[in-house]
Each structure stands twice: as C-alpha cells, then as structure tokens.
Amino acid sequence: MTASTRGDWCLQPMGDRCLIIAFESRIDPAINERVRGLADYLLAHPIDGVVDVVPAFTTVALHYRPEALAGEDGQSPYQRLCAALEEMLARDTPRSSGSKRRVDVPVCYGGELGPDLAEVALACRLTPQQVIDLHAASPHRVYMLGFAPGFPYLGGLDPRLQVPRRATPRTKVPAGSVAIARDQSSIYSLETPGGWNVIGRTPLRLFTPEAQPPCLLAAGDDVRFVPITREQYDAEYRGRS
C-alpha cells in the first residue's frame, strides 16, 4: 500500500478514485478542527479532478476522476494527486477551523416523541428531568455529517449520559428525532432505521434537498438543545415551511 506521511497527516488510497487524508485516529475536538480546516481549504482551493471533499472525525476523503489527473509522464493519477496535495500543503498550512456559529435546536423531550428517555434515565441512574437538563446543558459540536443527508454526529455529550446503542435497532426512526449513543448525540435527518436512544424530537427540518446548502447544520457548528413543550413543538412543526 502506498501511503505517505507528512507532518500530522498521511495519504492513503481508497481504490482507484478516492484518496483519504488521515490525521491521528482519535475522536478529539482539536484533531477534528484540523480536519475541517483542511477540508475548508480544499474546497476554497479546488484541485482539478477532485469532485467531492468529505471530512469525517479524523479524515478527509477526496473523491476524484482519474481521467482528469492523467498525464504522459508515467505517473498514476493517484501519484499526481498526492504530489499536488503535498505541494499545496507544503506551501500553505490550512488553519484549524474553530466554531463557526451557534445553532439553537428546540427539542420536545420524552413522551411519544422521545420514547427512550425513561430507559436512558434508568440506565444513567438519573431522573428524566436530569437527563433533559444535562443534555440541554452539554456543549455539543458537530464533528461531521454522515449516515444520512444532514445527519450530524455531535460530540460534547455530558459523560453522565453515556449509554450504549439499543440492542435492537428500530426499523424506522422519525425525522427530527434527537438521540444519544455512547459519547455522542445526533438528530435523525430523514426517517431511517436507527439504533440510537431517542430522547426527544425537534420540529426543525435538518435536510431540505432544494435549499442551498441543503442542511441545517454544518461540521464545526456549536449546537445547543433548547427544551420546548409539546404545544410549542406542535406549533413550530405546523408553522415550518
């Protein structure tokens, strides 16, 4: 496997039309900031042939068209892309990208919209209200979007709320469901199967295909969950465009 290391990142091929830039393999806000900084830089300074820049927790995937990176010098498209990246990153160090903005996400916790709240409380030896308070007070930050369009992986969950995924995933989790598993929170952006513990639901739309950008949240956003009542939820849900 041709992998090369430069500074705190290394390049790895993933097949013949994708390459992964990998930082230290640890879920950590500082590493994730480097990842986002690099992804933002690559979006602002596009390399010919690269069609998708996909930041994750500790990596940036670059999907590319090999035919756009072919040459007569005997170098493979992968080698040419690596060379272009190395030259670019030797010249200029993308800055770490800190928090971009804060987004308040209203949530109606518990009840039929948050069917796992009681179970989570029991597992954490807390009352449901304490779970709500701790979740709303946690400093959530979007590490990445994945799994489904607009689905955010949020770090920052209060350690007292760590619970494993559900033993049996649900076949359908409604869009807007606010859920936790291990040390992370998320919000289901579409109705999909899912195994996280659903503790509430937001009336906000996480993903709107026609919008630009199509997602409510972006990697790097700070998110604060704001408890609302069922009446407020219903009113906001009805009122959304």
Partner 1 sequence: MTIRVIKPGALSTLQDLGRVGYQRYGVIVDGAMDEWAHRLANLLVGNPETEATLEITLIGPRLAFEATAVIAICGADLSPHIGDREVPMERPVVLRPGNVLEFGRRRAGCRAYLAVRGGYDVAPVMGSKSTYLRGGFGGYQGRALRAGDVVGIGAAKSGDGALFAAPSPPWPSRAIATAGRQPPIRVVEGAQWPLFSDDAQRAFANTEFKLTPHSDRMGYRLEGTKLVLRDPIEMISEGVSFGTIQVPPDGNPIILMADCQTTGGYPKIAQVASVDLPVLAQMMPGQTMRFELISLDVAQRLYLDREREFRRIRESTAQCSRES
**Is residue 9 a contact residue for partner 1 (CB under 8 A)?**
no
Give whichever of 11 and 131 is closer to partner 1, judged by the CB atom: 11
DSSP class of residue 16 equals T
**Spatial separation of the C-alpha atoms in residues 34 and 177, rounded to whole Å:** 29
Give whichever of 114 and 150 is closer to partner 1, judged by the CB atom: 150
**Is residue 159 a contact residue for partner 1 (CB under 8 A)?**
no
User: Which 178-217 residues touch partner 1, going by CB under 8 A?
Assistant: 189-190, 192, 207, 209-210, 213-215
**Spatial separation of the C-alpha atoms in residues 225 and 148, rounded to whole Å:** 21
**Spatial separation of the C-alpha atoms in residues 157 and 164, rounded to whole Å:** 13
- 47: CB partners within 8 A, 6+ apart: 62, 64, 81, 84, 85, 88
User: Which 109-148 residues touch partner 1, going by CB under 8 A?
Assistant: 144-148
**Spatial separation of the C-alpha atoms in residues 146 and 60, rounded to whole Å:** 13
Give the nearest distance from C-beta 110 to partner 1 in angstroms: 27
Binding site for partner 1 (CB under 8 A): 1-2, 12-18, 20, 22, 25-27, 39, 51-61, 63, 66-67, 70, 76-78, 144-151, 153, 189-190, 192, 207, 209-210, 213-215, 219
